[in-house]
């Protein structure tokens, strides 16, 4: 077995550290700057933006509202004022363009917590993972909306770790650390990528938003793939890569999948681009999703299958 222990080691050796981490760095930069802009006000009195991720006001003029929270408000029977609706429309349009779950990997503060848990999981070689269906989040999403309808209050906000952490950092944590810690421990000890990729209804909502989003990860150079599995190892939504990378047949047709990762659960985090020594992936548009050249031969597919089985045995990773 020539597979290196850490995904991305080959890429690091071949492309250099910076180049093999540039998307990760960009993402951390984005997450931290968004948080910092929110913190500039309460900490330094520079009010570029007020509020928090649920709803905010840029330079006292442009409203932004989380459409998911607003939807829960609607379900609980309140018709909001125009400011909130305008803010939600802006956010909706943005994420429908750049990819719904871009929120998860580029904005959400919990991502840094769960990424830290995942990093530690790899450091400590914690391989056990209780498997949950990745569809659980949609069930929970539906549950939160029904709860709003039944209780007449935005019930999910009572426990939502995403807004707890963001609001807590800006307005004061209280005991919200406990909830963030619970998410961290869940991801570290109980389930690999348990929160963001299986349970979080916010991510589920944004994934639905990004179903047809324009900006996508593409595997145009998939012919160069040498089945090192690094992208698969590093991806928080492992199931999204394979169809596009391997050109799997589309069920019910005799066509093969094009090179665009079209799954709405791809968070456009770009880690696959970073860790790929062969530069198979790049960020692009979802247009022109046709099969380049001769497509992929069957041998590749079986290789990947074998590899993923191996992987399952070695680290208990769930493949969907």
Nearer to another protein, 84 or 225 (CB): 84
Nearer to another protein, 54 or 114 (CB): 54
The nearest distance, CB 40 to another protein, in angstroms, is 13
CB 41 within 8 A of CB 59: no
The nearest distance, CB 143 to another protein, in angstroms, is 4
Nearer to another protein, 138 or 279 (CB): 138
The nearest distance, CB 54 to another protein, in angstroms, is 5
CB 299 within 8 A of CB 256: no
Instruction: Determine the distance from the C-alpha atom of residue 90 to the mean position of all C-alpha atoms in its chain, rounded to a whole number.
Output: 20
CB 132 within 8 A of CB 198: yes
Nearer to another protein, 155 or 275 (CB): 155
Nearer to another protein, 13 or 181 (CB): 181
Nearer to another protein, 19 or 143 (CB): 143
Six-digit token string for 90: 């802006």
The nearest distance, CB 165 to another protein, in angstroms, is 10
In 10 A of CB 55, how many CB atoms? 19
Nearer to another protein, 23 or 195 (CB): 195
The nearest distance, CB 229 to another protein, in angstroms, is 24
CB 114 within 8 A of CB 182: no
Six-digit token string for 283: 């960020």
The nearest distance, CB 52 to another protein, in angstroms, is 6
Contacts with another protein, residue ranges (CB under 8 A): 41, 47, 50-52, 54-57, 63, 65-66, 69-70, 73, 76-81, 83-84, 87, 132-133, 135-136, 138-140, 142-144, 146-148, 150-159, 163-164, 167-168, 170-176, 178-179, 199
- How far is Cα 274 from Cα 266, in angstroms, rounded to an integer? 15
The nearest distance, CB 16 to another protein, in angstroms, is 42
- How far is Cα 281 from Cα 210, in angstroms, rounded to an integer? 20
Tell me which DSSP letter residue 120 carries.
H
Q: Which helix (H) or strand (E) holds 145?
A: helix 136-151
- How far is Cα 160 from Cα 149, in angstroms, rounded to an integer? 17
| Pick from 110, 120, 206, 103: nearest CA to 159 | 110
């Amino acid at each position: 077995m020539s597979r290196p222990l850490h995904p991305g080691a080959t890429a690091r050796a071949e492309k250099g550290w910076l180049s093999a981490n540039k998307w990760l760095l960009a993402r951390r930069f984005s997450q931290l700057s968004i948080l910092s802009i929110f913190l500039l006000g309460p900490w330094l009195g520079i009010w570029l933006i007020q509020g928090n991720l649920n709803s905010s006001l840029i330079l006292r003029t442009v409203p932004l509202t989380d459409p998911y929270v607003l939807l829960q408000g609607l379900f609980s029977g309140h018709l909001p004022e125009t400011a909130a609706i305008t803010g939600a429309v802006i956010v909706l349009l943005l994420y429908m363009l750049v990819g719904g779950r871009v929120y998860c990997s580029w904005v959400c503060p919990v991502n840094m917590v769960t990424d830290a848990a995942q990093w530690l999981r790899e450091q400590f070689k914690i391989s056990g993972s209780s498997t949950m269906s990745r569809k659980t989040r949609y069930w929970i999403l539906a549950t939160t909306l029904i709860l709003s309808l039944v209780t007449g209050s935005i019930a999910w906000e009572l426990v939502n770790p995403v807004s707890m952490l963001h609001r807590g950092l800006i307005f004061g944590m209280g005991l919200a650390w406990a909830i963030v810690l619970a998410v961290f421990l869940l991801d570290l000890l109980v389930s690999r990528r348990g929160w963001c990729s299986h349970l979080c209804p916010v991510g589920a909502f944004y994934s639905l938003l990004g179903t047809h989003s324009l900006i996508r990860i593409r595997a145009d150079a998939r012919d160069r793939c040498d089945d090192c599995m690094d992208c698969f190892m590093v991806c928080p939504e492992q199931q999204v890569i394979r169809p596009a990378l391997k050109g799997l047949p589309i069920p019910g047709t005799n066509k093969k999948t094009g090179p665009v990762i079209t799954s709405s659960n791809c968070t456009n985090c770009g880690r696959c681009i970073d860790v790929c020594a062969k530069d198979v992936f790049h960020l692009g548009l979802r247009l022109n999703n046709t099969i380049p050249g001769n497509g992929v031969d069957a041998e590749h597919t079986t290789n990947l299958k074998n590899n993923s089985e191996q992987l399952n045995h070695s680290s208990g990773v769930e493949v969907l």
